[in-house]
Amino acid sequence: MREYDKFYFGGQWASATSVERIEVVNPATEAVIGTVPAGDRGDVESAVAAAKKALPGWSATSQQERAVYLRRLHEKLTEKVPEIGALITAELGMPIKLSQRIQVGLPVAVLDSYIKLLKEYPFTEQIGNSKIVKEPVGVVAAITPWNYPLHQLMIKVAAALAAGCTLVAKPSELTPLNAFVLAELVDACNFPPGVFNLISGYGPVAGEALAAHLDVDMVSFTGSTRAGRRVSALAAETVKRVALELGGKSAALILDDADLEAAVKASITSCMLNSGQTCSAQTRMLVPEALYQRAVELAVKAAKSFLPGDSRDMQTKLGPLVSAAQRERVVGYIRRGIKEGAELLCGGEERPEGLLIGYYVQPTLFGKVTPEMTIAQEEIFGPVLCIMSYRDEEDAIRIANATDYGLAGGVWSADVKRAERVARRLRTGQVDINGGRFNLLAPFGGYKQSGNGRELGRYGLEEFLEIKSLQF
């Protein structure tokens, strides 16, 4: 049981002005495992004021100085990997083996990448008679989601602090405990007061107050498209910069010459990772009509290997969904798929056998899904895959692009040049070719209603920089 009753503002722990508390629930046991304050406008004012006060000093530090502070944090975070991995498993439900490697391993690697980038990134360059100066955008509000809580927070924290910005972090109310541990580590590293500030609370109160605040220069938001629209509208009142990483409905496009077994297995893994609670999950599998039946057989076999179970067990591959509301949402989509005529191939709305407690959903596959069906258009955010057939390459590209989203995707072909040609025609921010590995230095972000702006690597750093030209 972790109980926090203070926020981290200006380099110290300060009592919240609100007396309301948020209970954090373990989705596998349905037991309360911690509490945090529900911040209000008064708390937001204190956090932003601390960040604004710290900005002149922090923005004036050298790249080398900022790298030293970030290296200290990297060392502290590395020491805490087992503890934080177990904590995120308890908050979120991701199986412990994956949580150690992904939920904490990725943030450690992201932080390290920005430390290295600071050694080489050119904050000034000469173009003709102009000196181009790249300066921190200012005070940043980092509003993060619950599905990869520390990773999504570290993407913003590492880039913003490396750029010379100061920051106010507001994690999701569903998985906030790991952010408080991060604040403890920042405090132990003796960062200048106010460089990093932490507030917890609900989106409509704390989140909206941050997005609308006059002294916040930028909002970096990761979450649903619906919430992203609201953040954009609030931020527009003060014409502040907004970076949005939103929803997805990514397609795994399997061409007729692909290694079908490898493509199907990898696509199922992408869909089921984190119980399907991944914005870039490939949740639509597109296969040629002639290969449809074989693809279904392979997919069902692969899906059945993802048995839901105890998240603390090192053998478990599929944990619960994050909350009762999220489980009900996913089950609602499963019912909708059946109602609209999709073929239920495996899984369904019933609880997994033997799991009467916890927010579990069976790995679920739908076949004979058509592009106009709700489950083919909307982000389900659960372990649910739609298998769709296509006539030819042109038809496949049309179907892949026929959603409001454009975050990620995959193309599979024995001919790499053909796969690249198809990938270039997909209206999406990232495409994995034949299962290409995730690259922490490559830009991550979406087209269309999947958002705007990019995270990770040099592109992520530049989101937090203003550009000034000096003419001589």
Dihedral of CA atoms 320, 87, 207, 319 in degrees, nearest 10, equals: -10
pLDDT of residue 13: 97
The sign of the dihedral angle between the CA atoms of 151, 156, 157, 159 is positive
Tell me the residue length of the chain: 472
Q: How far apart are CA 8 and CA 282, in angstroms?
A: 37
Do 195 and 154 share a domain, yes or no?
yes
Task: Provide CB contacts within 8 A for 434, sequence distance 6+.
Answer: 258, 263, 411, 412, 413, 416, 419
Rounded Cα distance, 274 and 189, in Å = 31
387 plus 359 within the same structural domain: yes
Number of domains in the chain: 2
Clarify whether residues 19 and 113 are in a common domain: yes
Say what the pLDDT of residue 463 is: 98
pLDDT digits (tens, 9 = 90+) for 299-349: 999 999 999 999 999 999 999 999 999 999 999 999 999 999 999 999 999
Residue 213: inside a domain, yes or no?
Answer: yes
User: What is the CATH classification number for the domain harbouring 277?
Assistant: 3.40.309.10
Residues 84 and 140 in one domain: yes
| Residue 386 annotated to the active site | no
Same domain, 229 and 290: no
**Do residues 242 and 254 both lie within one domain?**
no
Q: Are residues 222 and 257 in the same domain?
A: no
Is residue 36 located within the same domain as residue 174?
yes
Residue 111 has pLDDT above 90, yes or no: yes
pLDDT band at 282 (very low <50, low <70, confident <90, very high): very high
Q: Is residue 101 part of a domain?
A: yes
Here the CATH number for the domain that contains residue 213 is 3.40.605.10
Q: What is the mean pLDDT of residues 398-417?
A: 98
172 backbone φψ class: left, alpha, beta (φ>0; ψ -120 to 50)? beta
Q: Are 103 and 94 in contact (CB under 8 A)?
A: yes
* Per-residue model confidence as pLDDT tens digits over 85-104: 999 999 999 999 999 999 99
pLDDT value at 18 more than 90: no
Structural domain span for residue 256:
250-439
Question: Are 454 and 433 part of one and the same domain?
Answer: no
% residues pLDDT > 90 (the chain): 99
Q: Check whether residue 457 and residue 320 sit in a common domain.
A: no
User: Is 252 within 8 Å of 285 (Cβ atoms)?
Assistant: yes
Give the active site residue among 271, 279, 379, 455.
279
Residue 136 is predicted with a pLDDT of 98
Position 467 in a domain:
yes
Strands 241-245 vs 451-452: parallel, antiparallel or unpaired: antiparallel
133 assigned to some structural domain: yes
Structural element, H or E, at residue 166: strand 166-170
Is the pTM for the entire model greater than 0.85?
Answer: yes
Asked if residue 204 belongs to a domain, the reply is yes
One-character DSSP codes across 436-454: PPP-TTS-B--SGGGEES-
Q: Which of 245, 379, 455, 463 is catalytic?
A: 245
Mean residue pLDDT of the chain comes to: 97
Residue 444 falls inside a structural domain: no
Q: Is 45 a catalytic residue?
A: no
- Residue 236 sits in the same domain as residue 337: no
For residue 146, being part of any structural domain is answered with: yes
Question: What does the pLDDT look like over 24-58, one tens digit per residue?
Answer: 999 999 999 999 999 999 999 999 999 999 999 99
Mean pLDDT computed over 147-175: 98
**Same domain flag for 170 and 54:** yes
Pairing, β 409-412 against β 218-222: unpaired
Do 272 and 363 form a contact (C-beta atoms < 8 A)? Answer: yes
What is 344-403 written as a DSSP string?
A: EEE--SSPPTT--SS-----EEEES--TTSHHHHS---SSEEEEEEESSHHHHHHHHH-S
Mean pLDDT score, 351-367: 97
C-alpha span between 388 and 170 (Å, rounded): 38
